[in-house]
Structure 1
Amino acid sequence: MPFDDTTADQRTWLCGQLAVAAAQVKGTLTGRHSFGWHERTVGARIDTPDGPLWLRVISEHERWSRGDSWTGNSDANDETFASVPKPMLLDMLEWTVGDQRVRAELMTYVPDETLADDMIFRSHVELPEAWWAALRRGLRAVSAVRHTKRVIIGDDVLRHHLLAAFGFDLDVDRLDWSCAHGDLHWSNLTAPTLWILDWEHWGWAPRGYDAAVLYCASTLAPDLAAQVHQHFADQLDTYSGRVAQLAAITKLLCRVEDGDHLDLAKPLHQLAAALLWQLQQE
């Protein structure tokens, strides 16, 4: 095994693979390293003869390195995403170390900071109307994508999740579907210029899923949650949007079960109760 099951060892190993990738593309790593959830990925600015770029490394066991999340960034790199404010994938390398498959992605550099260090926002932020308008345009362009077979959450899985979590049996025939980013939270969004980062998980989901994830990730910052709802009420306040919020709640409650964001549990359950009441009235 290339690393132990400890965070420190995994980070060290990932940083070593990042250095290997940097040498391959003949660049110099600068700035701090940014780690993904559970140290599955690492990225950093890299200075090259063509200017600053972003180098990202992801590692998976060989058996898991062929799914949608492995190819998400490259799958979102065609002309249908040209109007989406996102980094471009410029080059890609893959290699194997032991039973681990490593993928390095060289991307355009985004100078703006993410709005949070993790997916949950807990404080106050003033975002201008132009920022919200850019987010709506970007997500509208994503929802217009039709060519993919990628799925974030299918109808059978969604139905089973909501039955297990809330005893709610959704009417699949009433759902509208569209493509979504799939992981739209505050550490994947930048300001003052909007960039939408991390396209590992995009694909089909109930319409309004991105707005639902962002709204649920804002429940500890009520003023911000109100802004999200204000700008996406046309998606959230529908049958599909309410179901999408329940799906987002189950996603975040899985994090709570893992010991992350324990302060989210109560407000998420309160939101779920309100949504279930609304759905029963329809």
Structure 2
Amino acid sequence: MTEPNIPQAVFAPPAETSGRRRMRRAHERAALVLSVSASGPEAWGWNGRTLGRRAGQYWLRLVSAPADRRNARLWDGTAAADSALPRSVPRPRLRDVTEWTEDTIAYRAELSEYIARPALQTGGPILTADVDLPQFWWDDLRKALAATATVPTDRQAVRQQWIDRNFTRFLGIPAPTIDSWTTGHGDLHWGNLTPHPLVLLDWEGWGRLPTGYDVGLLHAYTLTRPATAARIRSEYAHILDTPEGRLGELVALAQLLQVTARGAHPELAPHLARRAQHLTGTPVPAVPLRA
């Protein structure tokens, strides 16, 4: 079983031995600076960008990037969420941060509260078996998203420019101008949610996004499990059944169709296409698979 505080799918370590060694050395340095001892199994992020391990009562996560090409939104997202979100939003609390640059590579290490409960889905974001969650869990999730929506921020999780460039390509209909924006998690899937008591993991990408995007993304990652997908549609009909919510869901579907066009989650692609056609009445375009 993977470590439960892993905020996303568990990826393989970097193919290059030098990359693995570099990240492990940096993680050890971060543990020394933050006065903890990391002993849990390694959890690698996409392309070896992150490395996380349990460190006693904490989770020590290291992220690296070329110093001149850091994604500013993702780089400090966890810390920004920790200071901006109300305490009523259940999440791992950030305890300490350290960062440095070495040989043109920037590193940032974040020491967060360790969540002992596994996420509802380990090993990836797509739900692989229906979940039987009590009503109070759904109520807690609704309250958490509603509290997040009240937070003012200039962080942009989804940009109108992306919609303008990609909406037609992946959905086959004209790109809309989004008029209804809210503050959201930005990566809401089953690997970022725990069972009761609910905790929302991985806040690095939070910010402003179209109304309906978060719920639409969670629903999209559930399309292979019709019963749970139907439960989401029922619990969030007040969002998904509005014009604004449908647009937000379509943006989420377009983004995941882009992901599948790059070769990820091939099992999800036909479900995304069917859901998009159901909402728009237009078959999605055939987009060549990109390496």
TM-score norm. by structure 2 comes to: 0.86
Whether 1:126 aligns to 2:132 is yes
- Indicate the residue corresponding to 2:151 in structure 1: 145
Question: What letter is aligned with 2:111?
Answer: L
CA distance in structure 1 between the aligned counterparts of 2:107 and 2:21, rounded to whole angstroms? 14
Residue 246 of structure 1: how far off its partner (Å): 1.6
- Indicate the residue corresponding to 2:247 in structure 1: 243
Question: Is contact 2:213–2:249 with CA below 8 Å preserved after alignment?
Answer: yes
Runs of 4+ in 1 over 4 A off after TM superposition: none
- Indicate the residue corresponding to 2:4 in structure 1: none
Question: Is contact 2:14–2:48 with CA below 8 Å preserved after alignment?
Answer: no
Q: Secondary structure at the match of 1:204?
A: strand
Match of 1:267 among 250, 267, 271: 271
Task: Label 1:80 to 1:260 Cα distance change in 2 as closer, same or farther (>3 A).
Answer: closer
Residue 183 of structure 1: how far off its partner (Å): 0.5
Match of 1:45 among 48, 54, 61: 54
Residue 171 of structure 1: how far off its partner (Å): 4.1
- What runs of 5+ residues in structure 1 fail to find an aligned partner? none
Q: What CA deviation, in whole Å up to 9, does each residue of 1:230-266 have, x standing for no partner?
A: 1111111111211112211122122212322101111
Question: Is contact 1:7–1:39 with CA below 8 Å preserved after alignment?
Answer: no
Residue 145 of structure 1: how far off its partner (Å): 0.9
Match of 2:40 among 31, 42, 50: 31
Residue 223 of structure 1: how far off its partner (Å): 1.3
Match of 2:202 among 186, 198, 201: 198
Give the structure, 1 or 2, with the largest relative contact order (CA under 8 Å, sep 6 or more). Answer: 2
Residue 42 of structure 1: how far off its partner (Å): 1.7
Question: Is contact 2:54–2:114 with CA below 8 Å preserved after alignment?
Answer: yes
- Indicate the residue corresponding to 1:113 in structure 2: 118
Question: What letter is aligned with 2:277?
Answer: A
TM-score norm. by structure 1 comes to: 0.89
CA distance in structure 1 between the aligned counterparts of 2:270 and 2:169, rounded to whole angstroms? 18
Q: What CA deviation, in whole Å up to 9, does each residue of 1:79-106 have, x standing for no partner?
A: 5432110111111101123221110001
Bigger mean CA offset, 153-162 vs 128-137:
153-162
CA distance in structure 2 between the aligned counterparts of 1:141 and 1:180, rounded to whole angstroms? 9
Residue 190 of structure 1: how far off its partner (Å): 1.2
Question: Is contact 1:235–1:241 with CA below 8 Å preserved after alignment?
Answer: yes
CA RMSD of aligned residues (A): 2.0
Q: Secondary structure at the match of 1:77?
A: helix
Q: What CA deviation, in whole Å up to 9, does each residue of 1:123-162 have, x standing for no partner?
A: 122111121111111111111112x111112223223321
Bigger mean CA offset, 148-157 vs 260-269:
148-157
Q: Secondary structure at the match of 2:268?
A: helix
CA distance in structure 1 between the aligned counterparts of 2:267 and 2:109, rounded to whole angstroms? 35
Query: What pairs up with 1:248-259 in 2 under 5 angstroms?
Result: 248-259=252-263
Question: What letter is aligned with 1:145?
Answer: V
Task: Label 1:263 to 1:98 Cα distance change in 2 as closer, same or farther (>3 A).
Answer: same
Q: Secondary structure at the match of 2:186?
A: coil
Question: Is contact 2:61–2:109 with CA below 8 Å preserved after alignment?
Answer: yes
Query: What pairs up with 1:5-20 in 2 under 5 angstroms?
Result: 6=15, 10-20=19-29
- Indicate the residue corresponding to 2:221 in structure 1: 217
Task: Label 1:218 to 1:97 Cα distance change in 2 as closer, same or farther (>3 A).
Answer: same
Task: Label 1:193 to 1:12 Cα distance change in 2 as closer, same or farther (>3 A).
Answer: farther
Match of 1:169 among 148, 166, 174: 174
Q: What CA deviation, in whole Å up to 9, does each residue of 1:63-86 have, x standing for no partner?
A: 222511111001111254321101
Question: Is contact 2:90–2:199 with CA below 8 Å preserved after alignment?
Answer: yes
Q: Secondary structure at the match of 1:182?
A: coil
Residue 55 of structure 1: how far off its partner (Å): 0.8
Query: What pairs up with 1:96-107 in 2 under 5 angstroms?
Result: 96-107=101-112
| Percentage of pairs with the same residue | 33
Report the count of equivalent residues: 269
- What runs of 5+ residues in structure 2 fail to find an aligned partner? 1-12, 283-291
Higher helix proportion: 1
Q: Secondary structure at the match of 2:111?
A: strand
Residue 122 of structure 1: how far off its partner (Å): 1.6
